[in-house]
Amino acid sequence: MGLRLVDKQNQQSQRMVIFGAIFLLMTLLILYSSNSGNTANDTYSPFRNSYHHAAKSTDLKKWAGKEGYMVVYGNKSMTLHCHECALVTSSSHVLGSGVGDEIDRTECVIRMNDAPTTGFEQDVGNRSTVRVVAHSSVFRVVRRPSEFLNKTPDLVVIFWGPPTKIGKDAKGTLFRLIQRVSMTYTNLSSFTIAPSKMRKFDSLFQRETGRDREKSRSWLSTGWFTMVIAIEICDNIHVYGMVPPNYCARRPQPKRMPYHYYKPRGPDECVTYLQNEKGRRGNHHRFITEKQVFARWAKLYNITFSHPKW
């Protein structure tokens, strides 16, 4: 009887050891699978902590040079240099600022896409020195030439987009339209960003954020191109209307603000930022990640922000 009891106890002990080993093995497998899954999805996860990613930031003053701009018509070259620049964003935060005269007094004024000045002069000024235009905004810009193309003498317009759409070799609808506009309005100095420089913009994004643009399904914003161009041509930059990277995470949440100052019924700014930042399906702008990089660049290239100030 005593022997049987000992055998049963031994069997129970062996079972406990076996069950314990199986449980430990299953736990390790689950943890491994979880980590592997996170790695696989890492390129599609929301971007974070780009403040300090680059151990050594790229010197944008030497980064690509002005040879990366291709003239659309004629024999002009991109030689613009400004000591003081006002970079006017399209954000509704500029409304009510009353800084229009201050902006117009700045040596060079940089604007984006189809952001108008007519009707908003008190807050955004009237002058334009450079306008950076995305391929997706070309039609909206050329539809209103009196507002965007011949309102300011000696305007520099820089078009950016995939070489297959706006490249000179593509000879597509967009390039022909840009070329026709450049021939019609002789006050313009029109350039497209060269394919080689477009690739460098992608590489710059990866170096500064640690994310491959294509694998992370990201679209660079016009703001990204405009900020880099401003750093190339300006000694000092005053940015109007751009919020800091942590703005939409504040508590209580910021009040609703239209994404564009000229579209009061447009989408909410923070909703747009957060949806794009966290988007995994399709391609998205990573506005918040870009602003984290801008915050780092501000310390290197004499960039100040106002309305809001940060």
Q: Which of the pair, 27 or 141, is modelled with greater confidence?
A: 141
The torsion angles phi and psi of 84, rounded to 5 degrees, stand at: -120, 130
Q: Is residue 49 part of a domain?
A: no
Residue 4 covered by a domain: no
Range of 179's domain? 65-306
Q: Which two tokens stand for residue 133?
A: 């235009």
Higher pLDDT, 278 or 176: 176
CB 233 within 8 A of CB 129: no
CB count in 10 Å sphere of residue 74 = 12
Q: Which residues are 280's β-sheet partners?
A: none
Q: Is residue 46 part of a domain?
A: no
- What residue has token string 């992370």? 216
Instruction: Report the pLDDT averaged over residues 171-193.
Output: 91
What does the pLDDT read at residue 80?
95
Domain contains 5: no
What are the residues whose beta carbons fall under 8 Å from the beta carbon of 184, sequence distance 6 or more?
none
Between CA 152 and CA 72, with CA 105 as vertex, the angle to 5 degrees is 30
pLDDT band at 275 (very low <50, low <70, confident <90, very high): confident
Question: Into how many domains does the chain fold?
Answer: 1
Tokens representing residue 220 in the block = 């660079």
Residue 234 covered by a domain: yes
Residue for token digits 């909410």? 268
CA distances from 41 to 45, 46, 53, 253 (A): 6, 10, 19, 29
Tell me, yes or no, whether 280 lies in a domain. yes
Three-state SS letters, 2-52: HHHHHHHHHHHHHHHHHHHHHHHHHHHHHHHHHHHHHHHHHHHCCCCCCCC
Average pLDDT in the chain: 83
List the helix and strand counts (H, then E) for the chain.
11, 10
Q: What is the CATH number of the domain that holds 86?
A: 3.90.1480.20
* Complete DSSP assignment for 128-157: -SEEEEEGGGHHHHHT-HHHHTSSSTT-EE
**What is the per-residue pLDDT for 296?**
95
Predicted TM-score (pTM) of the model is: 0.80
Of residues 28 and 239, more confidence is placed in 239
pLDDT at 112 over 90: yes
Is 205 within a domain?
Answer: yes
Each residue's pLDDT tens digit, 53-99: 554 678 888 876 667 999 999 889 999 999 999 999 999 999 999 99
Could you identify the residue written with the tokens 């030497």? 62
Q: Compute the average pLDDT of residues 259-263.
A: 97
- The alpha carbon of 153 is separated from its chain's Cα centroid by a whole number of angstroms, namely 29
191 occurs within a structural domain: yes
pLDDT tens by residue, 84-97:
999 999 999 999 99
Tokens 């477009």 belong to residue: 198
